[in-house]
Amino acid sequence: MTSRTNEALPISVKNVTKTYGPVHALNDVSLEVQSGEFLTLLGPSGSGKTTLLMVLAGFTRPDCGSLKFGDREVIRTPPHLRDVGMTFQSYALFPHMTVAGNVGYPLKLRKVPKPEIAARVEAALDTVQLGGFGDRRIDQLSGGQRQRVAVARAIVFEPRILLMDEPLSALDKKLRDQMQIELRHLHEKLGMTTVYVTHDQREALTMSDRIAVVNHGRIMQLATPRDLYERPANRFVADFIGESTFLPVSRQGDTVLFDGTPLLHDSPPPEAASLLLMVRPERVVLSREGPREGVNNFAATATEVVYQGDSFLLHAALADGAQIVLRGAMRGANVTALPAVGDALTLCLAPEDTVLIDGSEA
Amino acid sequence: MEAVRTNELGLRRDEWLERMKLFGLGSPAILLILVILVIPVGWLFYVSFIGADGTFSLENYERMLKRKSYARIFQTTFEVSFLTTGLCILIGYPLAYFIAGLPNRIANLCLITVLLPFWTSLLVRTYAWLVLLQKRGLVNEWAISLGLWDEPIKIVHNMTGTLIGMVHIMLPFLILPVYGAMKAIDRDLMKAASNLGASPRRAFWTVFFPLTLPGLFAGSLMVFILCLGFFVTPAVLGGGKVIMVSMKIVSNIELFVNWGAASALGVVLLVSTMVILWIASRFLNLEKMTGGGH
C-alpha cells in the first residue's frame, strides 16, 4: 500500500440534472475534479451535495448529463462496475463479518488469491493504524475504529477514485480533528482522486485542495479554501464559510460609501448591482485610543460581551443600528479588563480586510 | 473519617419500593401462569406415570416405544412440521423481501393483508379450505374448466390438503420476523456491497441473506413448534390419513378414556419442543457471537 502504481483519475461532471418532482436536487451541475485532487462538496443539508456524490457512485440515476472517470463515460455504468472506493456516513460495515472479512470483501469479489488477500488486508489495516485488528468483530470497535475500517475497506482494492460521504460526522470533536489530519495524510500518501462531502465548513477548509460550495442543487463557488474564505463569490458563500456580519454599502462612481463615509479597500469591488461589506469577526480590531490612521474606523456601542477562554466575542451596534461582531484574543489589556456593555468603542478594519462582495442572494 | 451518608436509608428504601411496585404489576400474570400452566403441567407429568391399576408405572411410555403406530404418528408429526416450515420459508421469504422493498405506506397495507387471515377463526379458515379443495370444490372445478387437468384430483383428506391448510395458517408467523429482520438492515450495507464490486446477486447472498438469518431462524422455529402441536387443520383436512400427536392425544381420551397414555404423549411433545427450543437457543447465541444477530 505504500507505493502506488495506479494513476489517479480525473472526474468530469457535465450538465448533470436530477429532479425529484418539482425539486431540483441537482441543477445543471458541471465540475472538473483534477487527478489526485482532494475536492470537498460543502453545503447545508438538502443542498444536493450528497445527491452529487451518489451520482458519482452510481446509486442515483440523474435525469441527464455526462460523467467521466478519465476517458471512460460511466453515467450508465452500474455501481458495482465503477471501481470507486467509498465510505458511508453510517460506515456501512458488514456486521456479520470480522474486520478482516470486511476489508477483504472487495478483494474476494475480485477473485484475488487468498494469501494475497490476507497480506493486502493487513497492509490496509496498517495504513489506517489498525494492524492486528483483523479478527475483531465490528461491534467490538469504537466509532473511530469503525471509521478506519471503513476507510481501509474503501482503499484496499486500490481504486483510483475515493468518495467519502460525511465520514466524520458521527465522531466526537477531538477524534474528528485528529481524523481530519489523518485522512489528509492518507490522501497525500495514496494520491487517489478524492471527493469528500461534508456540511462542516471547518472540516472542508482543513482538508481540501479545493472546495465546491453547493446550494439549491448548484455549485455556488469552486475555489481553494483560502480564496473561498477571503473572496467569497456571494453572500451565501460568505455566510456559510466562517462567521461574518454584512453591512450594506453604496457605490458612488469609483468610491464605495458606508453610512456616507468612503471606505478604504485594497481589492476592487465586484461588478454587481448591490454591494455588501463582509466583516469577519477576527479581522475587526478594537481600538482603545480612538480612530486610527489608514484604516476604516467605525464608532460603535458594545451590546454584548462574551468571555470564551482563549478569546472573547463582542457584539457592537453601529450608529445606524447595524451590528458588528468582533472576536478578540485574550491577551494584553483585554485580560485586565474587557469592554463593558454600553461602552462607546472604535472598531477598526484594515483596507486589506475590507472585502466587498456581491450582495445579491444567489 | 467516615464519609457523610445523608439519606442513605431512605434512598435505599425508595429503590426497594420501586422494585416491589414493578413486581406488583407482574404478579397477576405470574399467578395466572402458576394456576393455569405450572400446576396442570405438573399434574400432567404425574398422571403420565400412573398405570391402569392406579400405581406408579412406566407402562404409558413403554407402550409408545413398543407400538409401531406411535412411531408412525411421531414421524408424521415431524414430517408435517418440517414440510410446512420449509414451504413457509419458500413462500414467505420472497414475499417478505418484496414487501420490505415497497414504500412504507404500501408495505404496511401489505402487512395488514398478511395478517388478515387472523381476523377469522382457525376453524372457519380450515373448513373454507375443505370447501375449496374437495372433489367438487372450487379449485377442481376451475382447474377442469381451464383444462389444467381432466379429472378431479384428490387434494384434500390427505397430506397435500393438510400442508396447504397449515402453510396458509402458519405463513404470517414466518413473514413477520423475517420482514422485521429485513427492515432492520441498513440500506447503506447493500450500497456498500455494490460499491465494493458485488453484483446484485452477490450482494444479496453475501450480505442481505446472512443478515436476515436470525429472523428467518426465529420465524421457522415458531412455525415448526406451532406445527408440532397442531390439531384442527390436520384433523379436518387430513381426513384421518394424517395423524399427528395431538390427534392421538384426543383419541386416547375420547375413545379409550386413557388419561395416562394421553398425558404421556403430551409430556413427550412438551419435552421434545423444549429440547428443540434449547438447541435453537444455542444456535441463536452462536449467531450473536458471530455478529449476525441484531
The residues pairing with A20 across neighbouring beta strands, listed in sequence order, are: A23
Query: Going by C-beta distance under 8 Å and a sequence separation of 6 or more, which residues neighbour residue A330?
Result: A307, A309, A310, A311, A312
Residue B17 confidence (pLDDT): 94
- pLDDT in the model for residue A1: 41
Q: Which residues of A touch B203 (CB under 8 A)?
A: 80
Phi, psi of B216 (to 5 degrees): -65, -40
Task: Locate the chain B residue with the closest alpha carbon to A159.
Answer: B196
Of the candidates A80, A95, A98, the beta carbon closest to that of B199 is on A80
Give the model's confidence band at A288: pLDDT under 50 very low, under 70 low, under 90 confident, else very high. confident
| pLDDT above 60 (res B167) | yes
The reply to whether A230 and A317 lie within a common domain is no
Whether residues A309 and A225 share a domain: the answer is no
- Is the pLDDT at A8 greater than 60? The verdict is yes
Tell if the CB–CB gap between A83 and B197 is shorter than 8 Å.
yes
When comparing pLDDT for A351 and A4, which is higher? Answer: A351
Q: Where a domain ends, among A235, A258, A284? A: A235
Contact status of B184 with chain A (Cβ, < 8 Å): no
Domain boundary among A235, A258, A275: A235
* Mean of pLDDT over chain A: 91
pLDDT at position A4 over 50: no
Which sequence spans correspond to the domains of chain B? 1-48, 62-289
Which pLDDT band, with edges at 50, 70 and 90, does A5 fall under? Answer: very low
Residues A9 and A35 sit within 8 Å (Cβ to Cβ): yes
CATH of the domain at A289: 2.40.50.100
Per-residue model confidence (pLDDT) at position A6: 61
The pLDDT-based confidence of B293 (bands split at 50, 70, 90) is very low
pLDDT digits (tens, 9 = 90+) for A194-247: 999 999 999 999 999 999 999 999 999 999 999 999 999 888 999 899 888 999
pLDDT at A314: 93
- A99 with A160, same domain: the answer is yes
| Dihedral-angle region of residue A67 (phi above 0 means left; psi in -120 to 50 means alpha; beta otherwise) | beta
Residues A225 and A333 in one domain: no
Q: Is the pLDDT of residue B290 over 80?
A: no
pLDDT at A2 over 60: no
pLDDT of residue B28: 92
> From A163, which residue of chain B is nearest by alpha-carbon distance?
B195
Average pLDDT rounded to a whole number, residues A114-131:
93
Residues of B in contact with A82 (CB under 8 A): 195
CB within 8 Å of A106: residues ≥ 6 apart? A153, A156, A157, B196, B197
Residues A199 and A271 in one domain: no
How high is the pLDDT of residue B286?
53
For residues B166-188, one letter each, b for 16 or more C-beta atoms within 10 angstroms of the residue's C-beta and e for the rest, the string is bbbbbbbbbbbbbbbbbeebbeb
Best of B185, B186, B187, B195 to disrupt the A interface (most A CBs within 10 Å) is B195
φ, ψ for residue A359, nearest 5 deg: -85, -5
- Whether A257 is in a domain gets the answer yes
Give yes or no for B189 touching A (CB within 8 A): yes
Domain annotation covers residue A2: no
pLDDT band at residue A319, thresholds of 50, 70 and 90? confident
pLDDT at B98: 95
Q: Does A106 touch chain B (CB under 8 A)?
A: yes
The set of cell numbers assigned to A237 is 458563500
CB contact under 8 Å between A90 and B188, yes or no, is yes
Contacts of B194 in chain A (CB under 8 A): 58-59, 78-80
- Do residues A225 and A255 share a domain? no
Question: Across the interface, do B193 and A105 touch by the CB < 8 Å criterion?
Answer: yes
Quick check: B99 pLDDT over 90? yes
Residue A279 sits in the same domain as residue A218: no
Summarised one tens digit per residue, pLDDT across range A144-191 is 999 999 999 999 999 999 999 999 988 888 888 888 998 999 999 888
Please determine, for residue B106, whether its predicted confidence score (pLDDT) is greater than 50.
Answer: yes
Classified as helix, coil or strand, A293 is: coil
Model confidence at B289, pLDDT cuts 50, 70, 90, reads very low
Q: What is the pLDDT of residue A313?
A: 92
pLDDT beyond 50 at A137: yes
Quick one: pLDDT at residue B287?
Answer: 56
User: Is residue A316, in this structure, part of any structural domain at all?
Assistant: yes
Whether B291 shows a pLDDT value over 50: the answer reads: no
- Residue A187 counted as domain residue: yes
Judge: domain B62-289, CATH 1.10.3720.10. yes
Q: Which of A218, A235, A252 is the last residue of a domain?
A: A235
According to the model, what pLDDT value does residue A267 have?
84
A336 assigned to some structural domain? yes
| A214 and A297 assigned to the same domain | no
| Contact flag A92-B196 (C-beta cutoff 8 Å) | no
Q: How many domains does chain A have?
A: 2
Residue A144 lies in a domain: yes
pLDDT of residue A271: 83
Assess B291–A contact: CB distance below 8 Å, yes or no. Answer: yes
Alpha-carbon distances, residue A220 vs A107, A208, A244, B222 (angstroms): 39, 17, 18, 57
Which residues in chain A touch residue B189, judged by CB atoms under 8 angstroms apart?
A: 92, 94
Parent domain of A310: 243-358
Euclidean distance between CA atoms B252 and B272, whole angstroms: 20
Residue B1 has a pLDDT of 59
Per-residue pLDDT at A96: 92
Position B285 scores a pLDDT of 61
The pLDDT, as a whole number, for residue A213 is 96
Give the rounded percent of residues in chain A with a pLDDT score beyond 70.
98
pLDDT per residue as tens digits for the range B213-247: 989 998 999 999 999 989 889 988 988 888 888 99
Domain annotation covers residue A4: no
**What predicted TM-score, i.e. pTM, was given to this entire model?**
0.81
Same domain for A71 and A91, yes or no, is yes
